[in-house]
Structure formats: structure tokens, C-alpha cells
Amino acid sequence: MKKLIIMTILVAAAFTSCSDSDTYQDIETPPVTGTPDPDPVVAATYSKNVKSIIDANCIGCHQTGRSAGFRPLTTYAEVKNAVENAGLLNRIQLQTGQQGIMPQAGRMSQANIDAIVKWNTDGLKEN
């Protein structure tokens, strides 16, 4: 009698733990929801993302013959060197009024700062 009760409980548990919609594929492959992003994230590069920002905000002073000509930012190599060795990322992220902020006229837009930071994060690629 005890064996019959135990067997009945086991069979009942087996049937209630399964549903007819669970298959190995349902379990192994998560369902796709939403639509895929049509524009995959592309690495930022100097030529595509950074050069125009530097040209608009920095080279007015950071070129030969100007007040900051000692640290020119007119080429990829010069800007890369400034990021790696001269604290460019720190200086552009300072708040307006803080000592050492670049550009000195005031903080550039957060979008521009983010683009330069992303370029650094993505490996300082040229093209």
C-alpha cells in the first residue's frame, strides 16, 4: 500500500512539472524580443569623430605661432600624444571656472567630450 501511494505521488509530480510548450529548444534558446539595432556601435576614430571637434575648439590656440603653440593639436599624432601624455582628457572634463580647463573660454559640450573619451576608450584609432 505504501508503495502504491509513493508511486502515485511520483507519477503525479512528473505530470504536473511538465508543460506541453517546453521543449529543449525553448529552454536552450531565449526568445528574441524587439527589433535588432540597425546601427551597430562603431569604434570612434580620430578622422570621423575627433578631428572636427579639435579643429573647432582647440587649434585656435594649439598651433604653431599661437599662444599654446608649444602643444600643437593639428595632427592625429599630436592629439593622440596629448591624450596619452599631457592630460587632455582630464583638462577637457573640468568644469567651467576650474583651473586648467580646456578650452580656456569654457567647457565644450558634453557630446564633444564624450566623443573624445569614447575615442580613447576605443583605442585612439586614426581612421
Reported as a single tens digit per residue, the pLDDT across 7-33 is: 667 665 555 555 555 554 554 544 444
DSSP letters for 46-107: IIIIIHHHHHHHTTTTSSTTSTTTTS--SSHHHHHHHHHHS-HHHHHTSPTTSTT-SSTT-P
Does the pTM surpass 0.95? The reply is no
The string of pLDDT tens digits covering residues 45-83 is 999 999 999 999 999 999 999 999 999 999 999 999 999
> What is the residue whose three cell numbers read 510548450?
21
**Residue extents of the structural domains in the chain:** 46-121
In angstroms, rounded to a whole number, what is the distance separating the alpha carbons of residues 84 and 17? 59
What's the whole-number mean pLDDT along residues 112-120? 97
Determine the pLDDT at residue 18: 52
Angle at 87 between CA 83 and CA 90, to 5 degrees: 105
Determine the pLDDT at residue 37: 44
* CB atoms inside a 10 Å sphere around CB 101: 18
Residues in contact with 76: Cβ distance below 8 Å, sequence separation at least 6, in sequence order: 46, 47, 51, 126
Determine the pLDDT at residue 111: 97
What's the whole-number mean pLDDT along residues 99-118? 96
